Amino acid sequence: MMAQLRKEDKFNFAPKKFNMWIFIFTSFMLFAAFTSGFIVYSGGKKHAINVILPQSLMYSTVVILLSSVTLFLASRAAKSLSFSKQKLFLWLTLVLGVAFFALQLYSCSKLIDMGVYFINPNAAQSFVYVFIAMHLIHIIAALLLLLNTIKGSYSDIPQAKNLFKMEMTSIFWHFLDIVWIYLYVFLLLNQY
């Protein structure tokens, strides 16, 4: 009896998916706090970033947008039971995710070349690094989640669970995509 109940619980994914949504709210609040902090800081001291952000940030934005598309295609493949396609698109998403990560790091090194340091009397410039770093920490978590989903797609798990994993990954990944676009637009608006 109890064993059966536990089994029922195991396939009741709704609350767990809901947990992910609430986590997204917390994470949203974190970025809202950082950007509000930026506004308070730059408004109070009349500071702006005062540099043109490197082009590579633009490329990274394109890359993460593409990764959202591939992840969407992977989800669609999973729903229509074409698992080899699902795997392919998952791997593509992972590669694009890593590429995004690399491009962001490259942008940071570019910023340093431009003389925009993290340790900086103009904290508006330090904030750029904070935004990027906080977002990348989330990206690391998302990449791990993605890897776990890929692993799941290779093992023999029930389709319900496969779809659940896909959905969890999608929610998180698309959210991070949107957050990055928000941060990027925010930074662009505050360049000068």
Partner 1 sequence: MSTLAVHDHGVVHHEEGHEHHKDTFISKYIFSMDHKMIAKQFLITGITMAFIAMTLSILFRIQLAYPDKAFPLLETLLGRFAPGGRLDPNFYLSLVTIHGTIMVFFVLTAGLSGTFSNLLIPLQVGARDMASPFMNMLSYWFFFLACVIMLSSFFVQKGPASGGWTVYPPLSALPKAMPGSEMGMTLWLISMVCFVASSLMGGINYVSTVLNMRTKGMDLWKMPLTIWAFFLTAVLGVLSFPVLVAGVVLLIFDRSMGTSFYLSDIVLNGKVMPFEGGSPILFEHLFWFLGHPEVYIVIMPAMGISSEIMSVNSRKPIFGYHAMVYSLIGITVLSFIVWGHHMFVTGMNPFLGGVFMITTLIIAVPSAVKTFNWLATLWRGNIRFKPAMLFAIGMVSFFISGGLTGIFLGNATLDINLHDTYFVVAHFHLVMGSAAIFGMLAGVYHWFPKMFGRLMDEKLGYLHFWLTFIGAYLVFFPMHFMGLDGVPRRYYAFTEFESMQKWLSVNTFVTWAAIMSALAQVAFLFNFVHSIFWGKKTTQNPWQANTLEWTAPVEHIHGNWPGEIPTVYRWPYDYSKPGQEEDFIMQTVPYSETMSSNIESDFEDNPVGLAEHTKWASTQRSNEEVK
Binding-site ranges for partner 1 (CB under 8 A):
1-6, 9, 14-16, 18-19, 22-23, 25-27, 29-30, 32-34, 36-37, 40-41, 44-45, 47, 118-123, 126-127, 130, 134
Per-residue burial over 11-50, b if 16 or more Cβ lie within 10 Å, else e, is: eeeeeeeeebeeebeebeeebeebbeebeeebeeeebebe
Which residue, 26 or 84, has its beta carbon nearer to partner 1? 26
Which residue, 30 or 52, has its beta carbon nearer to partner 1? 30
Which residue, 15 or 115, has its beta carbon nearer to partner 1? 15
3-state SS assignment for residue 116: coil
Q: What share of the chain is helix, strand, coil (3-state, %, to 5)?
A: 85, 0, 15
Cβ partners under 8 Å of residue 31, min gap 6: 131, 134, 135, 179, 182, 183
Which residue, 36 or 109, has its beta carbon nearer to partner 1? 36
Number of neighbours of residue 72 by Cβ within 10 angstroms? 15
